[in-house]
Amino acid sequence: MGKTIINVSNDFFDMNDDEGDVMYNFRGNNGIKKSSVLYGKTINLSEMYDNMLEYVKEFLFGGEFVSIIDKNGCKESKLGISQLVNRYTIKKYGISIESVYNKINGRVREAKMTTDIIFNELKIRYGMTGVDWIYLYKNVNILTNDVEILEYIGNSILSNDIHEYFVTEYNLRTVGVIKKAKSYIKNKVSLDKSCYYIKVGWNNGGTKDIILSNLVQSYKQWWVYATRNKTKKRYDIRDYDVLLNGRSVTEVFPVYCPVFSNLRLNYTSIDFDNGKNNIKKCSEIAGYGDKGETWSFASIDRIDSSKGYSYDNVRIISQYANYLKNVGNIDQWRILLRYMDDQNRYF
């Protein structure tokens, strides 16, 4: 984290005590060693704290914090945000931001300055949009209970191209954040833990609660989800970069179904209609250019179904086209057969 030491000419060493400032004398038994640059000085803690926040923002969102977390096997990478921020400020100032925060707020028994407190202080200082929360979330998957930040990240994710169609046509949006128990299995024992869910809504009154990490951010994330189930024999093709192999994202992940050009592919994993209703809608309009368009979930299709899943034997089509044998009509079968013939495919 570097060994920068505070410059004794900084404003917080100024003895002037403006109205509202908190002055503090670092003497005696107050947790400061005699060798510290702070020992024996009266410090303007308010000025110091403002200065600290500047550097904390730079530390968290300027790349240094992410680089620490990215170091495999680094002991520091197992620490939380608040612990690493305190270490950083101790090295830079000779005192932690937690201690300064507690002294400013008159806490005789110092309390922990949690990650959410640090985030809230940054919000107060820079405003909600003045901090790149999505950068930190994407790089280190930050854990926070701050509802405002969670909703902000949710809205940022909804602004990507995967959700664009549904934002425009269905008014897809976040409508709140809720906390509820999530069940999981550990050592064959069923446990519950509290999780925050992003509540999304759309124009027909439908809603869904989604754990933030399950709100699809990219085609890469969709691909990882679609191939992570080992029982479906797709696990060996989970490497997104190998899948692309120099091709563009839109070449691999089409906007519309290659079989039925009026079926918009849904990579969000959100069912905007009852599943059966969507299948019915698809069966009514798929392949009929004069009947408008609807959506169908994106689905991994084997080009040659006699072979297994491999990078050169898969492409993305609509779930409806993939399961057409169960739900299609004769006209749609003809379209599917023409598509398969074009691809030199067979069952």
Q: Which of 163, 181, 213 is a domain's end point?
A: 213
| pLDDT confidence tier of residue 15, bands split at 50, 70 and 90 | very low
Edge to edge, the sheet with strand 314-318 lists 263-266, 294-302, 314-318
Is residue 265 a part of any domain in this protein? Answer: yes
Nearest Cα to Cα of residue 270 among 183, 154, 146:
154
pLDDT tens sequence across 124-174: 999 999 999 988 888 877 778 889 999 999 999 999 999 999 999 999 999
Judge if 105 and 120 occupy the same domain: yes
Q: Which range of residues forms the domain containing residue 195?
A: 147-213
pLDDT tens sequence across 24-78: 777 755 556 666 777 777 778 888 899 999 999 999 998 888 888 766 545 445 6
Judge if 205 and 234 occupy the same domain: no
Indicate the Cα dihedral angle 60, 63, 66, 71, nearest 10°. Answer: -140
- Contact between 211 and 180 under an 8 Å Cβ cutoff? The reply is no
pLDDT tens sequence across 280-310: 899 899 888 888 999 999 999 888 877 888 9
Judge if 172 and 231 occupy the same domain: no
Judge if 172 and 225 occupy the same domain: no
Is residue 128 a part of any domain in this protein? Answer: yes
d(CA 35, CA 129): 40
d(CA 311, CA 45): 59
d(CA 53, CA 50): 5
Q: Is 263 helix (H, G, I), strand (E, B) or coil?
A: strand
Q: Is 281 helix (H, G, I), strand (E, B) or coil?
A: helix
Judge if 189 and 228 occupy the same domain: no
Judge if 312 and 271 occupy the same domain: yes
Judge if 79 and 175 occupy the same domain: no
Q: Which of 140, 159, 191 is a domain's end point?
A: 140
Judge if 42 and 133 occupy the same domain: yes
Judge if 159 and 129 occupy the same domain: no
Judge if 317 and 283 occupy the same domain: yes
Tell me what pLDDT residue 145 has.
83
Is residue 4 a part of any domain in this protein? Answer: no
Number of domains the chain contains: 3
pLDDT tens sequence across 205-244: 899 999 888 899 999 999 999 998 766 688 889 999 999 9
